[in-house]
Chain A
């Protein structure tokens, strides 16, 4: 049974303080809890894509990682890790590493390094079936370079390359559904989660992913106070609203079988998620009601598709 107090008390953080992520950033609690899902006796090699997390956690001569860590470039966290994992396999096979000691391979990338510039390397590494867990911390834009739109940016969001202008009101395209793209790789385990309800869902999925053999993918919502435009203290509220409106469903796909791990008793209107965020402010101006309606339609469509997939794969 998941017991957060026990886990935090008994598993020291593998993601140290003294990092330089922004105050209230959604990513560190996520990364720290995922790493706590690793058994204390297991070693980890983290591969990190260039992005907020990388530039804030490994600034020479400091590192926040207590395990081994490698960063090479923006688009290749997955391919870099595939080399590390291949080396591990080869050295183990040759008896050059102790047989009874295990190393786990975990990648962290933002949505820029995962949905966009890194999708080729990610797809390749997943298809090749390297024994690794790729974690995308999705904050819905290129936050590190100053909030430019990504393919993970929700429709209508105001970003610095999709500004809410007088003619074009923010990003016109809908979000890419990367989790579903990963499901299409027919991986042993794909999951989408958020730091919600005392991290239970996140922890359990991380543990399952890390201890399932093969290539696994986790997509984790990671609110960004600066990019989304909300007060830092509201981090957990944003996580909650994303899930309760079904904007960010929490589900897993194990060997092709869908399981929605949390179904809101009463699905909240998506407005509740949009309203606290400055990036959607223009949607609430008189005359822009259509934007909220359209956003709601997209959320509903995807949620219904997900329900149908769950039903279909559990027959």
Chain B
């Protein structure tokens, strides 16, 4: 039996955490993820979970405490955004190098500076090669579902990597939507109990973690992390299959919307996909073969699958909700185009930076993109700014 509810993205995330009942949550408030530790500490103080809540004095300590807790043999979770994630950056790398399956809710927000509290993906993109699995969520439902699947993926013994579940700040984190929740008992059965092989609190088998790892060893340990990331892809699909059995909701590495015969394709992540789908429906009514490829699994990046999906398009626009400060394109654009190049997929692909610092993403803007794609004459100007005020 599922439960029909109306929840914001943050509430849904906190509720998923309550159902998972982790051993330790360590978090520090930062807009727009603050509500998650707020809701969660209420569950703790009302005795609804077994969790120790560590109200740390900073995000750096939040991730340090999660590392300590997970290494100790416990399930540890945290939530953060933007500068909070940047402040814990050092520990984010250490968490994955120590192979600790920590689960983080990342509510995407623009990183400073200047200061802005609204949504874009610059925070997630700044840690994109930190050895974490990264799932993106279009809706509150997806944020909830991804959270329920997270531990199964991260804790798989062929993976043992931390994972972050991303959603757009305010746009989904603070908007109330209809949502279908799973019964707590079913969640707990699905997630299972955490049984690490080696952990600090195993007094019969004391271990040392986080050594000085010199020239003969570090390279090999990094290669192991690569292997784990590679393994994660299949595990993500396996877990999605089990999840579908439980809920009927189907998840893949990415979602294809009207891609079967699509000529003009947008690639994007998170909430923008909803807006794009509306525009596609309207364009299709007018005979334009528009399609969408919405990334769910950003790390590991499904290189071959994406290249194959895009191979029949006439023109592609990659939307990066990240300021582009280099001259090579946004992170998603770089990944998509390099995937295509390696697989010999030669389709003109342009890049838009958009929605920066919470700038509204409108259907009008998305229409402009599809219009540009239909009239793409040459590739002299692949880098564009969508929704930017300009003279």
CB-CB under 8 A from B57, the residues of chain A are 120-121, 123-124, 127
Q: Does B125 contact A (CB under 8 A)?
A: no
B64 to A58, Cβ gap below 8 A? no
CB-CB under 8 A from A67, the residues of chain B are 206
B210 to A70, Cβ gap below 8 A? yes
Q: Does A138 contact B (CB under 8 A)?
A: no
A73 to B91, Cβ gap below 8 A? yes
B64 to A88, Cβ gap below 8 A? no
Per-residue 0/1 for A109-144: is the Cβ within 8 Å of any B Cβ (1 yes, 0 no)? 000000000001101110110000000000000000
B window 53-107: CB within 8 A of A: 54-58, 60-61, 64-74, 76, 90-91, 94, 98
Q: How far is the CA of A245 from the CA of B163 in the complex (A)?
A: 55
Closest Cβ neighbor of A86 among chain B residues: B52
CB-CB under 8 A from B217, the residues of chain A are 60-61
* Interface 9-mer from A90-98, A204-212, A219-227, A295-303: A90-98
Q: How far is the CA of A83 from the CA of B379 in the complex (A)?
A: 52
B60 to A87, Cβ gap below 8 A? no
B211 to A79, Cβ gap below 8 A? no
A window 278-311: CB within 8 A of B: none
Also in contact, A43 and B206, with CB within 8 A (given A73-B91, A83-B68):
yes
B67 to A72, Cβ gap below 8 A? yes
Q: Which of A55, A61, A103 contacts B203 (CB 8 A)?
A: A103
A72 to B64, Cβ gap below 8 A? yes
Tell me the minimal C-beta distance from A58 to chain B in angstroms: 4
Q: In which size bucket is the chain B interface?
A: 35 or more
Q: Which of B51, B61, B74, B208 contacts A68 (CB 8 A)?
A: B208
A91 to B23, Cβ gap below 8 A? yes
A88 to B208, Cβ gap below 8 A? no
Tell me the minimal C-beta distance from B46 to chain A in angstroms: 15
A58 to B71, Cβ gap below 8 A? no
A84 to B209, Cβ gap below 8 A? no
On chain A, the number of residues with a Cβ less than 8 Å from chain B's Cβ atoms is 46
Q: Which of A45, A54, A59 contacts B201 (CB 8 A)?
A: A45
Q: How far is the CA of A203 from the CA of B141 in the complex (A)?
A: 57
Per-residue 0/1 for B295-333: is the Cβ within 8 Å of any A Cβ (1 yes, 0 no)? 000000000000000000000000000000000000000
B201 to A86, Cβ gap below 8 A? no
A93 to B50, Cβ gap below 8 A? yes
Q: How far is the CA of A270 from the CA of B90 in the complex (A)?
A: 42
Q: Does B283 contact A (CB under 8 A)?
A: no
Q: How far is the CA of A89 from the CA of B206 in the complex (A)?
A: 18
Also in contact, A58 and B201, with CB within 8 A (given A81-B68, A84-B68, A91-B74):
no
Q: How far is the CA of A63 from the CA of B50 in the complex (A)?
A: 34
Also in contact, A87 and B211, with CB within 8 A (given A72-B64, A124-B57):
no
Q: How far is the CA of A43 from the CA of B205 in the complex (A)?
A: 11
Tell me the minimal C-beta distance from A100 to chain B in angstroms: 12
Also in contact, A65 and B64, with CB within 8 A (given A76-B91, A83-B24, A84-B69):
no
A80 to B211, Cβ gap below 8 A? no
Closest Cβ neighbor of B209 among chain A residues: A70
Tell me the minimal C-beta distance from B37 to chain A in angstroms: 14
Q: Does B378 contact A (CB under 8 A)?
A: no
Tell me the minimal C-beta distance from B62 to chain A in angstroms: 8
Also in contact, A71 and B210, with CB within 8 A (given A82-B68, A83-B68):
yes
Q: Does B200 contact A (CB under 8 A)?
A: yes
CB-CB under 8 A from B211, the residues of chain A are 58-61, 63, 71
Residues of A within 8 A of B (CB): 43, 45, 47, 54-55, 58-61, 63, 65-73, 75-76, 79-91, 93-94, 97, 101, 103, 120-121, 123-125, 127-128
Task: Knowing that A76-B91, A82-B64, A86-B65 touch, tell me 5 more A-B residue pairs with CB under 8 angstroms.
Answer: A68-B207, A83-B69, A86-B54, A93-B52, A124-B58
Rank and list the top 5 A-B pairs by shortest CB-CB distance, nearest first: A83-B68, A124-B57, A83-B65, A79-B61, A87-B74
16 contacts between A and B (CB under 8 A): A43-B206, A58-B212, A59-B211, A73-B64, A82-B56, A83-B69, A84-B69, A84-B201, A85-B68, A86-B26, A86-B54, A86-B68, A87-B201, A101-B203, A103-B203, A121-B61
